[in-house]
């Protein structure tokens, strides 16, 4: 079975054929760190995380680059408005982005270049385009890309060349512009007083200034894949649909004109928007929900991932409290199974559980290989969990094949609730008791957090057995012992127990930048 991906270049789902078999370079346009990334931005980053995770799970040697845009119109304007340097303005937002990314379980990229750290390769690229006569310096001192000199311009966004208005009289220097404004775009913007005031100006052979947003991604991507693998074509380039034009169109033009290759990325992938109550989430419309809003509301990252993966990345999705509630339930079902499995894992597979695991693998792989069909992959996971629960209900164990199937799903989707709250169901406790689990763990918690969690779960199982034996004094003593080690035990319906670390940390950074 091969991986097939939708390529915006051809508007088709095609087999993924990387430059070198078994290797996959992936460039994803990162956030502009002038403000907090919102949950709509994170929908894109999560689709890209799923892509990265699936490539890795499929055995590819993946090289993932995600930039941080720290110099563009918006970061400069925001720093100038506050009267601070560019660096002072963006640094806290870069830190906040990483916290939110980690909270949402998005794997950190292998390379996370910041635009201001790659000014030299940008100057080199622009100089190359000037030397080839594809770029020119205008009266305003800025350097522009001449789209008339690049016949393939408009291929990605299917822009009709008759609509183009090329020429020195039609230029755009803004980093973002509309399709009807397709015109020569700025590669290097001559430094103005505002740029100098915030420290966003650099010397170049063609004058002091700063890079345009589009050239930043081209230069960073080319520099990093050259260093890594000595190539100048990406396997996959991804972003949100609003980047198709002009950003990605311009990236292709600059990169291909510079390298002389007829492609900059073999596959272009674009994720659809996330709406909020039917409106596109945008800072412009003021209907923003950030990852930290969700954290402060106590949302679980597993539930957020579950919600977003329940819709295909190329379909529009509307965020609502009801959708999050449903996702929380789905995620909780998976979490309850995970905890049950942890206490009832067997050493061998019986034919039935091995068959369930094999069916899951086939369905899960087929779904993700079909242009990352995450909703179907989630469906396959819930089927697996239903079958697993049924077999556990019959008092059976689930062997290594079943455990590996669960681990694959958890590795690729990561939609189970945070392990912070662990649930031991009455069934799981009964199985544990049969197994002789009320073997008492040591009185002192082990230092490693994962061991400490297992320790706490074990004590919780012992306490449940003591309560059933009506040994309430000992049950209370265990509750206090766990409390002293930072764990709270809560009795739940139908004999289930939750084990929760006290003071569940919301590790938001301490110095939060003002809105």
Contact residues for Zn ion (CB under 5 A)?
29, 217
Both structure tokens of 509:
């950074």
Displacement of CA 349 from its chain's centroid (Å) = 34
Helix, strand or coil, per DSSP, at residue 91: helix
Radius of gyration of the chain (CA): 27
Nearer Cβ to Zn ion (255/389)? 255
- Contacts of residue 241, defined as CB under 8 A and 6 or more positions apart, other chains included, come to 270, 271, 272, 273
Specify whether the CB–CB gap between 485 and 447 falls below 8 A: no
Query: At closest approach, how far in Å is the CB of 122 from Zn ion?
Result: 13
Neighbours of 265 (CB within 10 A): 24
> Is the Cβ of residue 27 or residue 402 nearer to Zn ion in the bound state?
27
Of 29 and 324, which has the nearer Cβ to Zn ion?
29
Burial class (CB in 10 A: 0-12, 13-18, 19+), 98: middle
For 434, the token pair is 């049969």
DSSP class of residue 116? G
CB of 274 to Zn ion, least distance (A): 19
Cβ-contact 68, 115 below 8 angstroms: yes
Shortest distance, position 189 Cβ to Zn ion, whole Å: 17
CB 383 to Zn ion: min, Å: 38
Cβ 247 to Zn ion shortest distance, Å: 6
Which is nearer to Zn ion, 217 or 234 (by Cβ)?
217
Nearest to Zn ion of 215, 356 (CB atom): 215
| Residues 6 or more apart whose Cβ sits within 8 Å of residue 380 | 360, 363, 364, 367, 409
CB of 217 or CB of 368, closer to Zn ion: 217
Q: How many contiguous H segments (helices) and E segments (strands) does the chain have?
A: 16, 17
Closest by Cα among 437, 461, 456 to 446: 456
Choose between 217 and 267: whose C-beta lies nearer to Zn ion.
217
In the complex with Zn ion, the residue whose CB is nearer, 243 or 445, is 243
Q: How far is the CB of 237 from Zn ion (least distance, A)?
A: 8
C-alpha–C-alpha distance, residues 17 and 188, integer Å: 34
**Measured on CA atoms in the order 156, 160, 161, 167, is the torsion positive or negative?**
negative
Question: How far apart are CB 483 and Zn ion at their closest, in Å?
Answer: 50
Q: In terms of CB distance, is 31 or 302 closer to Zn ion?
A: 31
Residue 86: strand, helix, or coil: helix
Which single residue is written with the structure tokens 């709509």? 40
Q: Which single residue is written with the structure tokens 């400490």?
A: 452
DSSP for 212-271, written as a single string: -HHHHHHHHHHHHHHHHHS-SSEEEEEEEGGGIIIIIHHHHHHHHHHH--S-SEEEEEEE
CB nearer to Zn ion: pick between 212 and 301: 212
Shortest spacing between CB 27 and Zn ion, in angstroms: 8
Q: Provide the minimum distance between the beta carbon of 271 and Zn ion in the complex, in angstroms, as a whole number.
A: 14
Nearer to Zn ion, 212 or 335 (CB): 212
Minimal distance, residue 30 CB to Zn ion, in Å: 8
Closest distance to Zn ion from the beta carbon of 213 (Å):
7
Cα angle at 232 between 229 and 233, to 5 degrees? 100
Which strands make up the sheet holding 422-424, listed edge to edge? 422-424, 497-501, 487-491
**Per the structure block, which two tokens stand in for 38?**
């919102």
- List 107's β-bridge partners, or say none: none
Compute the least distance from the CB of residue 367 to Zn ion, in Å. Answer: 29
- Residue pair 54/411 in contact by the 8 Å Cβ criterion: no
Cα 357 to Cα 361: distance, rounded to the nearest angstrom:
6
Question: Half-sphere exposure of 120 toward its Cβ, with a 13 Å CA cutoff?
Answer: 3
CB of 418 to Zn ion, least distance (A): 31
Of 434, 454, 445, give the one whose Cα is nearest residue 392: 434
């Amino acid at each position: 079975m091969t991986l097939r991906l939708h390529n915006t270049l051809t508007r088709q789902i095609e087999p993924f054929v990387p430059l070198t078999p078994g290797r996959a370079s992936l460039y994803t346009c990162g956030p502009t760190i002038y403000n907090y990334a919102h949950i709509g931005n994170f929908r894109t980053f999560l689709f890209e995380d799923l892509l990265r995770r699936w490539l890795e799970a499929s055995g590819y040697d993946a090289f993932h680059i995600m930039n941080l845009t720290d110099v563009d119109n918006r970061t400069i304007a925001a720093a100038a408005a506050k009267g601070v340097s560019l660096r002072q303005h963006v640094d806290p937002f870069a830190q906040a982005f990483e916290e939110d990314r980690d909270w949402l379980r998005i794997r950190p990229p292998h390379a996370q270049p910041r635009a201001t750290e790659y000014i030299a390769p940008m100057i080199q690229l622009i100089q190359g385009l000037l030397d080839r006569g594809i770029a020119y310096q205008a009266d305003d001192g800025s350097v522009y890309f001449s789209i008339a000199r690049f016949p393939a311009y408009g291929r990605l966004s299917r822009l009709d060349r008759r609509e183009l208005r090329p020429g020195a009289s039609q230029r755009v220097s803004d980093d973002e512009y509309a399709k009807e404004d397709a015109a020569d775009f700025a590669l290097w913007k001559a430094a103005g007083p505002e740029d100098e005031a915030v420290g966003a100006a650099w010397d170049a052979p063609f004058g002091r200034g700063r890079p345009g947003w589009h050239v930043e991604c081209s230069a960073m991507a080319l520099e990093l894949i050259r260093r890594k693998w000595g190539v100048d074509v990406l396997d996959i380039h991804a972003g949100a649909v609003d980047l198709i034009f002009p950003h990605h169109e311009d990236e292709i033009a600059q990169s291909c004109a510079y390298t002389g290759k007829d492609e900059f990325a073999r596959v272009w992938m674009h994720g659809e928007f996330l709406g909020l109550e039917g409106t596109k989430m945008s800072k412009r419309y003021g209907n923003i929900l950030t990852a930290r809003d969700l954290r402060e509301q106590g949302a679980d990252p597993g539930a957020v991932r579950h919600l977003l993966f329940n819709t295909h990345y190329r379909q529009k999705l509307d965020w609502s409290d009801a959708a999050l509630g449903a996702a929380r339930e789905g995620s909780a079902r998976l979490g309850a199974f995970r905890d049950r499995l942890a206490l009832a894992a067997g050493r061998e597979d019986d034919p039935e559980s091995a068959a369930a695991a094999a069916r899951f693998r086939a369905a899960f792989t087929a779904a993700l290989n079909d242009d990352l069909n995450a909703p179907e992959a989630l469906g396959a996971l819930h089927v697996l969990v239903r079958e697993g629960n049924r077999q556990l209900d019959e008092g059976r164990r689930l062997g290594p094949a079943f455990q590996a199937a669960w681990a694959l799903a958890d590795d690729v989707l990561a939609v189970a609730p945070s392990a912070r709250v662990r649930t031991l169901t009455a069934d799981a406790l009964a199985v544990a008791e049969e197994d002789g689990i009320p073997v008492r763990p040591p009185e002192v918690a082990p230092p490693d957090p994962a061991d400490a969690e297992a320790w706490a779960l074990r004590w919780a199982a012992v306490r449940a057995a003591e309560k059933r034996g009506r040994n309430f004094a000992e049950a209370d003593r265990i509750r206090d012992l766990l409390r002293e080690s930072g764990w709270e035990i809560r009795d739940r319906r139908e004999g289930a127990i939750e084990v929760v670390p006290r003071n569940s940390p919301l590790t938001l950074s301490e110095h939060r930048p003002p809105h």
